[in-house]
Amino acid sequence: MALPVDHKAHIIDGKAIAQTIRDEIASEVKILVEKYGKAPGLAVVIVGHRKDSQSYVNMKRKACAEVGIKSIDIDLPEEVPEAELIAKVHELNADPEVHGILVQLPLPKHINEEKVLTEISIDKDVDGFHPLNIGKLAMKGRDPLFLPCTPKGCIELLKRSGVIIKGKRAVVVGRSNIVGLPVSLLLLKADATVTVVHSRTPDPENIIREADIVIAAAGQAMMIKGSWLKPGAAVIDVGTNAVDDPSRKSGYRLVGDVDYQEGCKVAGCITPVPGGVGPMTVAMLLKNTLDGAKRVIGQ
């Protein structure tokens, strides 16, 4: 179908949708506190002093405060032994005030990430990366206790924007453990026909062009051009890439994996970067923490 020359995609406002979800969470937290005198607790573990990790963690702590979730902060030095970090995780597993545990990734080189994540109690795995949670996500008719936050946020953006997933062709660009793989499994659970495009896929352009729904999570700045999109497609751009921009004070600006200017002329709806998927990831973390608390409080 040809689009009018002045076609402009509907912009999916991730910030506004995330705020609505945070308001919903805040009122549920209030009910828990009034009824049982207990608030959900989220333990955030950070190892070392990576600037990006620090700013992510601060954002999460601030978001907790806003909705009334108790944030338990664990700051460990860069050189902490793996065994000590695991002991800390066990301590948090046993703490009844803690309903969610988040270990900020990446961890320093001397620590085995998989080993640490597997030690998190499945009932408190608010990041949704425990092998049992991912395994259940991959199986038909099984429900994980928690879904990974960014993929869950992508699906929520589609649903709250009125995009029908059932029976649609969805293409996921990227196959990471954090986004690409779990979001493809979620789309499959929602009855989409799913194709995953990755760095070894020949001719990605033609595959993407057949998609009613595109989830871009490749980490390649503006890789997907407007001409690669099917007119009217729903586009969720997970990419956050810094590109040089001398006109900015910081010297760079953030762009997605989709060429946004071009995409706006072809897509039916599209998320901006920043202000699209990012705010949803944090909102879903809060939602997972609330859900974990609701399973325990009042039982």
Q: Which residues have a catalytic role annotated?
A: 60, 104, 127
CA distance 193 to 212: 10
How many other CB atoms sit within 10 Å of the CB of residue 278? 21
How many other CB atoms sit within 10 Å of the CB of residue 73? 14
CB 268 within 8 A of CB 232: yes
Token pair, residue 173, equals: 């660009």
CA distance 59 to 44: 11
3-state SS assignment for residue 53: helix
Phi, psi of 171 (to 5 degrees): -120, 125
Burial 95-115 (b: 16+ CB within 10 A, else e): eeebbbbbbbeebbeebeeee
CB 93 within 8 A of CB 121: yes
